[in-house]
A = this chain, B = another copy of it.
Amino acid sequence: MRDIDFMAVYERVMKQIKEGAFLTVRAGEALNTMTIGWAAIGIAWRKPILMVMVRNSRHTFGIIEKAADFTVSVPGGEAKKALAFCGTKSGRDVDKFKECGLKAAPGRHVASPIIEIPGIHIECRIVYKNPIDPALLTRDYDPLYPAKDYHTLYFGEIQACYEA
């Protein structure tokens, strides 16, 4: 396990997130992981920030709304099958960990675990959120929301970023 500067690995991280990464959230006993393909990383409020987005129709939404933190596990190796599964199946219906043979490993700084895969893991505490206000979103993006299940944006202050 090796601590890394999020800026130095941005290109690798963002290119893989575009292909898929695991967003994992725990709130009390509730735990789920889902595939994300969007995120933004930067500096805000003088802190390193990772923003993720969850549609309010998702099983993960009910969990992250009660959670204090989340993790993003960015696979360094082959993970297409698990990413496809976790991006299309719901944690309401299946145990994604069992079905995909994924293991949750304890977070170092947050209650949410990481996915135990080789890659880059980012642990965040939630510092701000914004349920998208469709009135303020360009109409050009309406085709992304045929069911009006808008995302909530979660801004996580990066607590740890490491390669495992």
Point out residues on A near B: beta carbons under 8 Å.
Answer: 7-8, 10-11, 14-15, 17-18, 37-46, 49, 51, 53, 126-130, 132-133, 136-138, 140-141, 144, 153, 157
Whether A45 contacts B38 by the Cβ 8 Å rule is yes
Pick from B14, B138, B141, B144: contact of A42, CB under 8 Å = B14
- How many copies are assembled? 2
What's the Cα separation between A49 and B40 when bound, in Å?
8
Residues of chain B within 8 A (CB-CB) of A10 are 7, 10-11, 14
What's the Cα separation between A37 and B43 when bound, in Å?
8
Report whether over half of chain A's contact residues are helix, strand or loop; otherwise say mixed: mixed
What's the Cα separation between A38 and B138 when bound, in Å?
23
